[in-house]
Structure 1
């Protein structure tokens, strides 16, 4: 029974990674061939066609929760909390996954060097556009929080509620970047795909570490 569960788990992970890599490489190829306008333009027109003062205020708040300063502060605070409650490995997982994800995003931006959109920018941003750092960072950070909760929680309903909330926050942060005029929709999708792939890889690393730890403890008992 355990072997069947393991096979199903790794099959799912392999399919998930394949989906993330396929999505990212597809958009990266279209970017190099300058064929993303047909994808980006209708979405930008739809989202920015709903600009209002009240919605702009909301989007600015949302985009802050996908920013580097927020990730740094939140990751440190949550990690301290986890260490205090004897969950050191999850603190390490959160810090490593989040900060290495930021470094990876920086490298990808410099690799593709896509300029930001200039259609209707509501806020000013520096740096390159693809993939979106807010989108990738939020997928990695909030996704890592969801992974940690699943590991430590004993309530499946709580896992589903928190996981759904994290997914909603990630989606809204991505939309906020398009709304504010600092990213193309393809930047956001590329960020989600890259973030999803990195989170999955780091999650596999955590699972392997926990498996090795459990195996070592069993060996010590014998």
Structure 2
């Protein structure tokens, strides 16, 4: 099995993806920026289960840092055949707070949610093309489909990620590029507002919370399904229907 690289792989959805890919047989490189303890905890869990994993620190909004991260993952675990662009960020504000959506906020959202996946895809492209079935999975959001979300710049940055997914599917073929777009998932972003999150999640058709493990299962399915490319898989319990 080729190495899987998961950005932001130590917490929330990224953690669930790292563990799922390990269980599928992949060595896993877990990138982090601040959450060193969380990333190392996932590494320990994988290695205790007989797998191979490393934690690599990188600011994925920095092209040079991304290239160094990929080189480190390759050196320690082997070529990257699966890339999961999970690292993301938001700055919550009312959607109609146009003055709050400053240039700095826009730049932060686009840097993390759009440019970082681009840098990571470009840095891994040689490995992906050399793999038997190179695969990129971008973690998007239903905010990019509905236009609603934690802020206007966040929603637009995730919409841009949809476009990047489709264009990269063409540019990198036969490397496959897809997107998994979760609905409301109670990760640490909801710390202190869990009750409100559960209330919103209850409005979905399936009347249950979407978990990080639900999202990871969709990622694993996309990785395994060799005929799927350029697609967005929505995982939201029917929230957007």
Same fold (TM over 0.5): no
TM-score computed with the length of structure 2 as normaliser: 0.31
Q: Which has the higher strand share?
A: 2
Q: Which has the higher helix share?
A: 1
